[in-house]
Amino acid sequence: MAEQPDHGTQQRMPSMDNGKSPQTIAAANGIGSDAQYGAVTPPIHLSTTYRFPGFEKPGPYDYSRTANPTRDLLADTLAQLEGGAGAVVTATGMAAVSLLLAMLDPGDLIVAPHDCYGGTHRLLSMRAAKGHFDVAFVDLNEAAGFAEALRRGPALILIETPSNPLMRITDIAKLAEQGKAAGARIAVDNTFLSPALQQPLALGADFVIHSTTKYLNGHSDVVGGAVIAAHTQDLNHLKEWANAMGLTGSPFDAYLTLRGLRTLFPRLEYQQRTAFAVADFLDRHPCVETVHYPGLPSHPGHAIAERQQRGFGAMLSFNIKGGADGARRFVEAVKVFTLAESLGGIESLVAHPVTMTHASMGIEARRAAGIDDSLLRLSIGLEGERDLLMDLDQALRTVAPLLGRSSV
């Protein structure tokens, strides 16, 4: 992996950088900046190629795989929100993970959470099997196992907090300090919270990755990703690799994602308020075994989440009573929630990780991570709280016969 730059000198917090609050950056970055016609909403630039003003004289843009004004505006907005030196916008969230992995050399070790997103787990496993690098999946919250992984001298530590789907919380600042002392770089997948609720670079991370498919776009109509780098030297490497591998995002997707990003703060504020009510409701429901939501004081990561996040987010999961049969009955009974992959949109979704998002992980890895048949993951949208609670209640009650009761 590339040499470590001088940490801390190039980190930017949005509010310190230009005096604007993050809400203003999300809502208004680039607004009214069109020099040609004075368009308030920044125009979309779909052209794949750009005229050279003269022989051996490229303009600011030459070819859209390399750079594009619409994509650059999204990248700039994300970099400001995360407090980074800059960002590369990619075609998908997995392309963002792939781009990060391009920074590794054969023989480098990446330490990743044992309960990370199934697609990330699959990609790391497949590339490690090809000898591109070594991977160690560890429980980042288990001190002895993490210390053992650090002794192996990892080049990169990947953190996913809250984790998908178990909502485990990792102390970013603590792990970043320990990881850096061992010579590792730190990357955080911030997909579940977005920079509205968590800024990993300010806590010591070197990279933030996103599936912008989720909260940043927020409308379940664009697949995209981004890597934000804390340091200019890393950013330049990422841009070089993104161009070489051809995994940059399309301008049209960047335009739509920027449009979704304008409402990130109010969406999340509303969604997380409802998520709290849902978690509280499930926590008291007789058909629910365990609720995984960091906003509940009983959650093992509650105190860390309270310290490192600006809110508890709108994702949660729970174990339903009745095991796999209970889960099946529940997903077949919901009417307001939709059974679907993905998260972070305006609509409420339910997913069954074992058969959906984490199916590719394999039973052994899922068992080690604590993901079983009874686990259901909820992404809370913008519907009315009452409708969501009533839907959950009627779907949960279908489990009663499995518990030896006619009703609950």
Give the active site residue among 214, 239, 329, 397: 214
Closest CA to 31 of 73, 78, 67: 73
Burial of 404 (0-12, 13-18, 19+ CB in 10 A): exposed
Give the residue closest to ligand PLP by C-beta: 93
72 Rama sector, left if φ>0, alpha if ψ -120 to 50, beta otherwise: alpha
Annotated catalytic residue, options 50, 117, 215, 293? 117
Q: Which is nearer to ligand PLP, 369 or 400 (CB)?
A: 369
- The residue among 69 and 345 lying less far from ligand PLP, judged by its C-beta, is 345
Residue (100 or 150) nearer to ligand PLP, CB: 100
Coil, helix or strand for 132? Answer: coil
Cβ contact 186:206 at 8 Å:
yes
Whichever of 89 and 184 has its CB closer to ligand PLP, that residue is: 89
Establish whether 50 is a catalytic residue: no
**Annotation says 215 is catalytic:** no
109-113 sheet: strands from edge to edge: 86-90, 225-229, 207-211, 185-189, 156-160, 109-113, 134-138
Contact in structure between 309 and 193 (CB atoms under 8 Å): yes
Specify which residues 180 forms β-bridges with: none
CB 67, min distance to ligand PLP, A: 21
Q: Which is nearer to ligand PLP, 191 or 248 (CB)?
A: 191
If the CB atoms of residues 81 and 150 are measured against ligand PLP, the closer one turns out to be 81
- Least separation in angstroms between residue 93's CB and ligand PLP is 2
Please give the residue ranges that form the binding site for ligand PLP (CB under 6 A): 92-94, 117, 119-120, 160, 164, 189, 191, 211, 213, 223, 225
We find the least distance from the C-beta atom of residue 383 to ligand PLP, in angstroms, to be 21
Q: What minimum distance in Å lies between the beta carbon of 393 and ligand PLP?
A: 27
Q: In angstroms, what is the minimal distance from the CB of 222 to ligand PLP?
A: 9
Question: Cβ-count burial of 332 within 10 angstroms (0-12 exposed, 13-18 middle, 19+ buried)?
Answer: exposed
Minimum Å gap between C-beta 11 and ligand PLP is 23
Strands (E), 11-105: 86-90
Check: CB of residue 85 under 8 Å from CB of residue 229. Answer: yes
Distance CA 52, CA 48 (A): 13
Nearest to 255 by CA among 68, 85, 118, 15: 68
Sheet holding 375-379, edge to edge: 288-292, 315-320, 375-379, 349-351, 338-339
Which residue, 10 or 199, is less far from ligand PLP as judged by CB? 199
Rg over CA atoms, the chain: 22
Choose, from 65, 127, 259, 310, the residue flagged as catalytic: 65
The one catalytic residue among 108, 171, 189, 373: 189
In the complex, least distance from residue 189 CB atom to ligand PLP, rounded to whole angstroms: 5
Among all residues, which ones are annotated catalytic? 65, 117, 189, 214
